[in-house]
Amino acid sequence: IHRLDQSVVNRIAAGEVIQRPVSAVKELVENSLDAHSTSINVVVKDGGLKLIQVSDDGHGIRYEDLPILCERHTTSKLSEFEDLQSIKSMGFRGEALASMTYVGHVTVTTITAGQLHGYRVSYRDGVMEHEPKACAAVKGTQIMIENLFYNMTARRKTLQNSADDYPKIVDLLSRFAIHHINVNFSCRKHGAARADVHTVSRLDAIRSVFGVSVARNLMKIEAADDDVSSSVFEMDGFISNSNYIAKKTTMVLFINDRLVECTALKRAIEIVYAATLPKASKPFIYMSIVLPSEHVDVNIHPTKREVSLLNQEAIIEKIQSAFESKLRNSNEERTGSRSQKVPVHKIVRTDSQDPAGRLHAYLQVKPQSHLGKESDLTVVRSSVRQRRNPKETADLTSIQELVSEIEGNSHSGLQDIIKYCTYIGMADDVFALLQHNTHLYLVNVVNLSKELMYQQVLCRFAHFNAIQISNPVPLKELIMLALKEEDLDQQCDENDDLKEKIAEMNMELLKQKSEMLNEYFSLSIDLDGN
């Protein structure tokens, strides 16, 4: 094992952060937003391989910061790891600019407020190629990357062979433009007179970027929750209605002003559309979600494309419900009558509140041969009901302690699942499939049954319901049957005398304990041992 040279390490890391030209544009635009810019202009040549130029009117970079500007892990956004929990800026690792200098030629021109002139400096492999030179400059910063991936032959060839990155860059800028309506974005090819992205208001942004047909068929949506125990968030945005038909879903998602992706949320929304508006099942969605910073982990992806949320499932569920009611209402207004469609949460195999989904629906009931059986059935049902609702637990201290132990260790969520679950079927000899709400559970029936029986016995101790046998059974005969059952050599009669004696002794013992057996287990034994 040997230690890699630092330049090799840096180039490997750079290839991960700057995966293609659009990655570099995203990092630079996010830096411009962090600098509180109100205007961001992007110019691209050869899909970004020849040139990417991002100019903004933000607060600029201080002269004294220029020497370490492009070193790895230098940042103005945080100083301690704990700062990540409350970070509001887009960037924080201090890797992006450094990465660009390892795979391209970077030139920075910047001026800060109150300065008479700006500075220009070029960078390579994380360091300045020369001292900053004084120059004329307009407010803000301009960063230029030339010859991207000049030293990564395979990457450059792949990108040159594929359709160039310009449409992806336009799409990225469009997404930023829809969300940041106070910032003027423009994006154009080098040498082109007119820009391909130019925005004013949010709906204007959507109209100019995605077309009139999208903007015309949008509805506003909002949802919020401030329940600390489940989820705290605010969401607003625009979503397409039933008239919008497309081949694929377009989702523009910002979480705390970060442009991110969330597959689980996208899938949940697609399910709602498929269920509510089957013909318009590929929607357009723009959504902005705001949560407390400490509820978002921004540090889970090398290019910060994804984030992790506290209580993500609960948030997705609430947003899904908001979408469902919005779409349902709009659909009803459009058709003029109430739709008979099933709500999304009920598009499940069965429903625990509906008898069709309960266990006894799986029993094959044989037709009654004659009416006399009906009364017997009523008796059996009432005795089953009694057994299911036992009287108070026994007042024995030992039993009370065991019951208290169970109650102390019980889990309300699991109790709820068991109480309202629906049986679907056996998966194999041990596991069964149960459904609760929209979740499917694999349950170890053997373990569950043992625990259930143990708890039932404790709860019914000293209150078992007796079964009346028409002819009392002699204990001695029962014990003899058991002894013979255990006997491997069925033909041998030599041991019969011994068995008789064992049966006699055990019968006497049980007769002596009959009072306790009756009180605790409802086993009644008479003086003759029946």
What CA–CA distance (Å, rounded) separates 127 from 66?
Answer: 10
Q: The tokens of 269 are what?
A: 């929304």
To the nearest whole percent, how much of the chain has pLDDT over 90?
Answer: 27
Residues for the chain: how many in total?
A: 530
Q: How far apart are CA 286 and CA 253, in angstroms?
A: 6
- Is the alpha carbon torsion for 330, 333, 334, 336 positive or negative? positive
Q: How confident is the model over 521-529, as a mean pLDDT?
A: 90
Given CA atoms 485, 487, 489, 491 in this order, what sign does their dihedral have? negative
The pLDDT value recorded for residue 338 is 47
Q: What is the pLDDT of residue 406?
A: 87
pLDDT band at 12 (very low <50, low <70, confident <90, very high): confident
Cα gap 180→36, rounded to integer Å: 11
Q: Is the pLDDT of residue 404 over 70?
A: yes
Helices (H) and strands (E) in the chain, counts: 16, 19
- The pLDDT > 70 percentage for the chain reads 81
Query: Under CATH, what is the fold of the domain 211-333?
Result: Ribosomal Protein S5; domain 2 (3.30.230)
| Cα R_g (the chain), whole angstroms | 37
Q: What is the pLDDT of residue 32?
A: 93
pLDDT in tens, 267-293: 889 888 888 887 788 899 999 999 888
How far is C-alpha 424 from the chain's CA centre?
24
Confirm if 316 and 110 have CB atoms less than 8 A apart: no
Distance CA 226, CA 268 (A): 21
Measured between alpha carbons, how far is 141 from 202 in angstroms, rounded to an integer? 26
pLDDT tens digits, 434-484: 998 889 999 999 999 999 899 888 888 888 888 888 889 999 999 999 888
What pLDDT digit, counting tens, does each position of 492-507 carry? 666 788 888 888 999 9
Please tell me the chain's helix, strand, coil percentages from 3-state DSSP, rounded to the nearest 5: 45, 20, 35
Burial of 507 (0-12, 13-18, 19+ CB in 10 A): buried
pLDDT mean over 397-426 = 87
Average pLDDT over residues 188-200: 80
Q: What is the pLDDT of residue 363?
A: 47
- Whole-number Å distance between alpha carbons of 209 and 202: 10
3-state secondary structure of 335: helix
Q: How confident is the model at residue 361 (pLDDT cuts 50, 70, 90)?
A: very low
Give yes or no for a contact between 282 and 246, defined as CB atoms under 8 angstroms apart: yes
Strands annotated E in 228-270: 231-240, 250-255, 258-260
Q: Among 76-80, 229-233, 296-300, which range has the highest average pLDDT?
A: 229-233
Owner of token pair 């391209």: 104
Question: Residue 311: which region, alpha, beta or left (left: phi > 0; alpha: psi -120 to 50)?
Answer: left
φ and ψ at 11, to 5 degrees?
Answer: -70, -35
- Examine the pLDDT at 142 and tell me if it is beyond 80: yes
Report residue 362: phi and psi, to 5°: -90, -10
Kindly indicate the confidence band of residue 339, based on its pLDDT and cuts at 50, 70 and 90: very low
User: Crossing angle for the helix pair 475-486 and 496-512, nearest 10 degrees?
Assistant: 130
Domain with CATH 3.30.230.10 in the chain: 211-333
CATH class of 6-199: alpha beta
Asked whether the predicted pLDDT for residue 355 surpasses 60, the reply is no
Q: How confident is the model at residue 360 (pLDDT cuts 50, 70, 90)?
A: very low
Phi, psi of 58 (to 5 degrees): -75, -165
* Separation CA 306–CA 255 (nearest Å): 10
The answer to whether the beta carbons of residues 48 and 21 sit under 8 Å apart is yes
Q: Where in the chain is the domain with CATH 3.30.565.10?
A: 6-199
- Antiparallel, parallel or unpaired: β 184-189 and 39-45: parallel
- Report the C-alpha gap between 121 and 128 in whole angstroms: 7
309's tokens:
């949320």
235, 287 in Cβ contact below 8 A? yes
The token duo for 529 is: 């041992």
Confidence of residue 163 (pLDDT cuts 50, 70, 90): low
What pLDDT is attached to residue 344?
Answer: 56
What CA–CA distance (Å, rounded) separates 60 from 12? 29
Q: Helices 96-103 and 21-34: crossing angle, nearest 10°?
A: 140
Judge whether 18 and 24 are in contact, CB under 8 Å.
yes
Distance CA 257, CA 180 (A): 8
Task: Kindly report the average pLDDT of the chain as a whole number.
Answer: 82
Copy the structure tokens of residue 509: 């013992």
For the cut 60, the answer to whether the pLDDT of residue 373 exceeds it is no
Where b means 16+ CB within 10 Å and e means fewer, 228-247 reads: eeebbbebebbbbbbebeee
pTM of this structure: 0.56
pLDDT tens column, 19-46: 889 999 999 999 999 899 999 999 999 9
Contacts of 356 (CB under 8 A, 6+ apart): 350
Read off the pLDDT band of 407 (50, 70, 90): confident
User: What is the DSSP secondary-structure string of 66-88?
Assistant: GGGTTSTT--SS-SSGGGGGG--
Output 201 or 111, whichever has higher pLDDT: 111
235 DSSP β-pair partners:
223, 289
